[in-house]
A = this chain, B = another copy of it.
Amino acid sequence: MTLHSPSHLAGIVGFRGYSGAELVRLLLHHPSVEPVLLEHRDDAEPDPEPLNHPSLIDRIRFSPEAVREAGLAAVFLATPPEVSLDLAPALIEAGVKVIDLSGAFRLRTPENYQRWYGASHPRPDLLASAAYGLPEFHRATLAGAPFISNPGCYPTAANLALQPLIEAGVVDRSAGIVCDAKSGVSGAGRKASLSNSFCEVAENFSAYAVLQHRHVPEILLTSGIDEDELSFTAHLLPINRGILETIYFRSRNLRSTRDLLAIYASRYAEEPFLRILPAGSLPRLQAVNYTNFCDIGAVLDPKTGRGVVVSAIDNLIKGAAGQAVQNLNLALGLPETAGLL
């Protein structure tokens, strides 16, 4: 009798990408879920630098039928939006739980999708039904959910930092909120690209998608703030992984850094993956990389109410694969932290 025999199998489409590879790695350490690599037709071409997947993991050719026959409880789609749009419907109909890591089902309405992704959405019904997988704020709808849309990496770090302040009503929204976000290169996915080649990124730094990043609407949807109130800029850091966001706001009522930190301490008292740093400390990427933690630090100027909050996550873990496993745990009724600590 094995004590930790896996009771569930979870398939991974896109296991050759960075998020997909992290899913494999995390599930190999999961006490009750085992990964199955799903070969999708777009993966036909040989992989020039294969990531290290232990040879013992099962691989099967993807099809909804094969997924059912293999008895998979869930499938992760670590794929581009267009592939997710293609694969998700049949899986959902087949009763397999789907956790989609792409942006295909994050925005709720076809109009919003059209605006930010520049295409009409083929399945508005599924768009409306997808549960948005930010457990710290949507846990109730994620428990047992058949279809989960995993949040973007930038919105995860932004919402975990902003949302407690919005809920507490301490942000003077009329003064505007700035979110200055910086991400490692793995956020762009695993593919040949001149702009992500070593010599173009190393010893370099730049801003992109100023005021128009497609992750912005995810922040607005979760927080309820208006587009006009938020200025969001993304930057490309010359590192492999990690996202750090520096958020600026004007507070109502807050009198000190201690008051500001107390909001987080209270809101996240029961959250296993949120770490609130003491006054005087600020997040560093090295402290969160390779973990599912989100670290938050903050400073408030008592004289003027200017507030600065810094949040940090590993874009591939809490910003992608780790949060997806957290969502899988919720969907399957497993302990939420299983395989993640």
Contacts and interface: CB of A to CB of B under 8 A. Distances in A.
Contacts of A191: 194, 197
A137 to B, nearest CB: 24
A282 B207 CA distance: 7
Interface string A254-276: 00000000000000000000000
A193 interface: yes
A98 B198 CA distance: 31
Closest 10 CB pairs of A and B: A180-B180, A206-B284, A198-B201, A228-B304, A185-B198, A210-B299, A192-B192, A192-B194, A204-B286, A178-B248
A97 to B, nearest CB: 28
Contact of A49 (B195, B237, B241, B285): B195
A231 B248 contact: yes
A52 to B, nearest CB: 5
Contacts of A242: 203-205
Contacts of A241: 203
Interface in A42-82: 48-49, 52
Given A197-B192, A199-B186, A211 B285 contact: no
A239 interface: yes
Given A178-B178, A235-B246, A199 B185 contact: yes
B196 A52 contact: no
Interface of A: 3, 18, 48-49, 52, 175-176, 178, 180, 182, 185-186, 190-208, 210-211, 227-228, 231, 233, 235, 237-242, 244, 246, 248, 250, 282-287, 289-290, 297, 299, 301, 303-304, 306, 308, 310
Contact of A283 (B206, B231, B301): B206
Contacts of A205: 182, 237, 239, 242, 244, 284-285
30 contacts: A48-B195, A49-B194, A49-B200, A49-B284, A175-B175, A175-B176, A176-B250, A180-B180, A180-B246, A182-B182, A185-B202, A191-B197, A196-B199, A198-B200, A198-B238, A203-B239, A203-B289, A204-B239, A204-B285, A205-B237, A206-B285, A207-B244, A210-B310, A211-B308, A228-B304, A231-B248, A231-B306, A233-B246, A238-B239, A248-B248
